[in-house]
A and B are shown apart, each in its own frame.
Chain A
């Protein structure tokens, strides 16, 4: 079984990653196309976010649980993984 401290899984924030599944936080984040990807905390409410994608590396992290990433999905954006949104609580506007 993968031991707790590894190069590949269960990575702490700040550790280099290739895919979000490796990170304890479940978000493998890179600031821009040139920078290396590192595990980072998920986006909190009203912070910038990326919608979930299959590539597994994000310019902005996906939202914390219970929040959704409000983004007007453009086809190009979803391919280049560069369309961002804001994390919102879907129940907020219900109240």
Chain B
């Protein structure tokens, strides 16, 4: 059957909206008054306190700081969440540091804090409300959808899809871990897909199946560019023990959210970090995470690699075919990492059981020591590994080598690195370092450019 609301039109729960394998329970979206979609505007003039505006009474838009000559970015939350949650306004503030735009947090907690199967239908009203809002801007200000970017987390990504289906020509939709249940494997008129906007980019951080792994996010690639950080299923830093998870650095509330859905929430944390890290979060093209870890897609081709997150739209290689990208991130804030390929040729008199590390030094800073190999270290052999450094060292001028084997060595063995080759993934630039002599364990050997 069907329900109709003024301003937003009619909504059916016939197939494919309900009664299918993917969507067994057929429900109808709630009344817009009950869903109560609210538009909370942030601009450079009011970065900390939102102005609530509504298309139902356009005078509120005229009276606000809304600037029709600037881009507009809608951000909305997902199931159980709400629009006044910190991550949405924090994301707005970070964007406002870069440029002046209309940053509108869309709150629909009226329709999100209920049974999931109901919330999965309520987002159709939310998407319709945002479409109605954009139409009002078009009529009152001649505002073009090509200035609109819609970021949706979880169910919010599919709300953005509904807006994209109603208003053609929206510049960009960003899906932050789009919700899987009731959407994965459904027709494109139900879920987020490439046709919903000129450019659709997606970040998958909880892509394990809902049963049995409780992965809330889609694994299916649905955008022009689909990013799978850390493989898309288990995010670093989400495996802390219970107490450490709940008693989080940012407080008990943030800790409880992470306790419930750590992987799922990482998608908006990565996006938020990407705003202030324009050269970070480089995505490498690869069919699977396993082949990425063994070097597929490394280094970036001449056309460059896309950046996961805010700057994904600067990538020139977008086509009408879905492309998957992989990368690694850190386990806590400032999640961005920089990927290098490190090859070390060992010198010394005889082999030693142990491990060795390399640290990079450049004009932009230096990195920690990263373990390249652990096992039977033999002089003359070359060992290669990929590292994801926590800082972008920039143009490299030195590297340091250190080995250790954690056991007492009466013979005081010595090892050295005679040759170290470092290749940066972002641009493929290779630097060659030459070393002389050997060092005892736990002593740093410096190698300069050859």
Contacts and interface: CB of A to CB of B under 8 A. Distances in A.
A54 B338 CA distance: 36
Contacts of B60: none
B351 interface: no
B443 A44 contact: no
Interface residues of B, number: 25
Interface in A1-45: 5-7, 11-16, 36, 38, 41-42, 44-45
Contacts of B431: none
A72 interface: no
A53 interface: no
A66 B442 contact: yes
A16 B237 CA distance: 13
If over half of B's interface residues share one DSSP class (helix, strand or loop), that class is named, otherwise mixed; here it is: loop
B446 A92 contact: yes
A53 to B, nearest CB: 20
A65 B442 contact: yes
A91 B446 contact: yes
Q: Is the interface of A mostly helix, strand, loop or mixed?
A: loop
A64 B444 CA distance: 10
Nearest to A95: B446
A45 B244 contact: no
A66 to B, nearest CB: 4
B95 to A, nearest CB: 27
A38 B249 contact: yes
A44 B366 contact: yes
Nearest to B331: A13
Contacts of B402: 65-66
Contacts of A46: 366
Interface in B217-270: 237, 239-241, 243-244, 247, 249
A11 B445 CA distance: 30
Contacts of A83: none
Q: Which 10 A/B pairs are nearest by Cβ-Cβ distance?
A: A66-B444, A15-B244, A44-B368, A66-B402, A16-B244, A65-B442, A89-B444, A15-B240, A64-B369, A7-B241
